[in-house]
Amino acid sequence: MTDPKAQPKLTLSTSVKELPGVGKARAASLNKLGIENVSDLLRHLPMRYEFLAGETSVEQLQADTIGTARGIVAAKRWVAGGRGKGRLEVTLQDEADTLRLVWFNAAYLQEKLFPGVHLRVTGKVQHFGGYPQMVNPKFETLAYDVVPEPLPSYRRPIYPATEKLPSSQIEELIAHCLDQLAGQIPDPLPVELLEHHAMPNLAEALMLVHRPDQPDDPGVGRRRLAFNELLLLQLGIELKRQYNQDRLQAPTLRFSQAKDEHIRQRFGFELTDSQKQVVGEIAKDLQRDVPMNRLVQGDVGSGKTVIALYGLLMAVSDGYQGALMAPTELLAEQHYLSMSKMLKGSSVRIELLTAGQASANSVARKEIEARIEAGEIDIIIGTQALVSESIKFSNLALVVVDEQHRFGVLQRAAFRSKMSEQVQAGRIASPHYLVMTATPIPRTLSLTLFGDLDVSTIHGLPPGRKPIITRVVGSEKSDDVYTYIASRVAKGEQVYVVVPAIDESEEESENQLKSVAAHSRLLQEKYFADFTVSSMHGRLKPAERDVIMGSFREGNVHVLVATTVIEVGVDVPNATMIVIEHAERFGLAQLHQLRGRIGRGTKDVKNLCVLIADPVTDEGQQRVDAIADSTDGFRIAEKDLEIRGMGDFFGTRQHGMPPLRVARIPEDMDLLQLAKRDATDMVKADAQLKLPENQTLRKVLLKQYGTALGLIDVG
């Protein structure tokens, strides 16, 4: 018969709410640290260790170290202070010497600590009045008739904690879990693989980081745990890649020199060497029946639109359709206008479809949908409206997604569902995918986040792009900056002014943050009385933002005060200046994207980016310095990763990917490469991880990455 009071068996998936002593408040504190279950808790690693010397006599205690000693309470007294506060002074006596113990505001201890009690105490040793002393030491009461073994020296782990959940409580919870799970922690990695890399098993690795004996133990344990994370991620990516190759079939597009020359004639200019290389990579992919999954990354203004159009025209020239999905209606419209201009006079039928263009039931919308389904539109450009249920393609071959990270996880399955369900030999029909981003991604991160995509990089800028001068000034120079900007606006130029706050809250005014509304009024009244100043922020409806941005593009607005909603935006050739207030508050990638809003025109003027900044942290100073020192987005991205670390760099949660708790990129680049090689070999040997030795690994993999990587249909 089962004991109803028996504790449920502890496993790695047990919620922290079920651990002893964890109520709602403590569970909330653990959740703040990203800890929801026992597995998360055990992968919450110490940030450092305190060396605690083993138990000694009072005489052997060393000043300014943490020591442990035992003895008998010889005397105690309570020294009262004001308002019920005070201190408890205890004299502890061992065989030869005396140790003074002091606890502040701990009157409750008077009932526990009285003459004759045997104590063992641990604390920082100080000398006071010629005697050794410990203030607020930890203690345990010892039995009179049992003499316990002296405590050995050990390394106490110090964990990242919160105000309400100190490191000591986290240490207790982890110790409880390790004791309960002793020898019962399943290891997902095959024994042969661990032996090949001379790595400890999972249970050993956890003991090495949480209960190290030697100085090198934590490093050895951490590398094994980091490898665990990276191998699981790379396996998931490799399985997905294998699935795409084996189970999906895309249209095979024909390519010839004549077709290549015909397409390039549409551009009206010579492609750069870098653009030619990327175009070649795309053309090669499109000639295969395996769906292309390619990420094209290029700095701001590097000419990605031309690359996208090349791929779309390859599809159209073979009788297929192409689609381009952009994150905003304004950006979709910009792509439509620029591509329409390049296609003027051709027989290519191009159309724009956005959610705000017309309601889903309008006559105009239904007419466009009917033409898409009938194959009467060759290139359709739009927002997420393109994946709505009412859209059916006639023969879709290529999908281009611009600014991929703005969508979160790619909706590839949604586009697959718009094609005929099955093709020959049971393979599922799928279009080719081309993903474009203007946020340069460090190679280390692209391997981690976009491992299922082949990566192409456009280096440099096309001819005609103007250089941008970046200046950093303190807030005390604001008046000089705006006076100078006003003199250039008077000559017909336009300027962006970016601020970090939206509302005039009390807290923001105390911190001297400039809200959009307040700053717009200030600039209008003090510097731009004869010009039109407009403002824009994320709380406006998309249609309202489009109107304001359209007015700025047409030159009816001279000064646009905005938040980072302009980070991804339309080309305004006449905008030659940008001022970024409180620049130290923005991320490096944001600053670089914002700076890229200017320098897009043909005017022979100085394009100027002014960062008004008063950094109060080293990190803020590093960001501002990095932007001022370089206009190379790839160098800036590497610096951003270096400053912020893997966890924050690209918002991994935004991609639906579980965060890496232990692995540190780029520090663990060697482990990432090792994991990638091992994952490739394992999938080659066991395509669906169905061999007996891979069963635990398969279960863990599907649980952790099944949804994020779409592995449910793989396995």
pLDDT at 46: 95
Report cis status (omega within 30 of 0) of the bond before 442.
no
DSSP state of 586: S
**Count of Cβ atoms closer than 10 Å to residue 344 Cβ:** 9
In CATH terms, are 50-158 and 468-630 the same topology? no
CA distance 649 to 77: 55
pLDDT at 509: 39
pLDDT at 289: 92
CB 516 within 8 A of CB 535: yes
Residue pLDDT, tens place only, 52-104: 778 899 999 989 888 999 999 999 999 988 777 899 999 999 998 999 999 99
* Stated length of the chain: 715
Tokens of 383: 């927002």
Residue pLDDT, tens place only, 684-712: 998 888 888 888 888 888 887 766 555 54
Angle at 81 between CA 77 and CA 83, to 5 degrees: 135
Token match 């009917």: residue? 370
Give the β-pairing of 86-93 and 66-80.
antiparallel
What is the architecture, at CATH level 2, of domain 468-630? 3-Layer(aba) Sandwich (3.40)
| Angstrom distances, CA of residue 143 to CA of 76, 448, 506 | 20, 55, 59
pTM: 0.66
pLDDT at 406: 46
Residue pLDDT, tens place only, 129-153: 888 999 999 898 998 777 778 778 7
Residue pLDDT, tens place only, 472-496: 999 999 999 999 999 999 999 999 9
pLDDT at 94: 93
| Angstrom distances, CA of residue 642 to CA of 225, 588, 622, 664 | 21, 11, 10, 10
Burial 559-590 (b: 16+ CB within 10 A, else e): bbbbbbbbbbbbebebbbbbbbbbbbbbebbb
**Count of Cβ atoms closer than 10 Å to residue 476 Cβ:** 9
CA distance 530 to 490: 9
CB 288 within 8 A of CB 244: no
> Which of 90, 87, 91 shows the shortest CA–CA distance to 105?
87
Q: Which residues of the chain have pLDDT under 70?
A: 1-8, 300-301, 356-361, 404-414, 416-426, 442-452, 461-464, 501-514, 567-570, 644-659, 706-715
List the CATH code of the domain at 50-158: 2.40.50.140
List the CATH code of the domain at 248-458: 3.40.50.300
Q: Say which amino acid occupies 241.
A: R
Q: How many CA atoms lie within 13 A of 141 on its CB side?
A: 10
* Domain segments of the chain as ranges: 16-47+160-210, 50-158, 248-458, 468-630, 669-715
For 642, counting Cβ atoms within 10 Å of its Cβ (0-12 exposed, 13-18 middle, 19+ buried), the class is middle
pLDDT at 452: 66
Handedness of CA 521, 575, 456, 442 (dihedral sign): negative
CA distance 237 to 441: 18
CA distance 40 to 160: 13
CA distance 214 to 216: 5
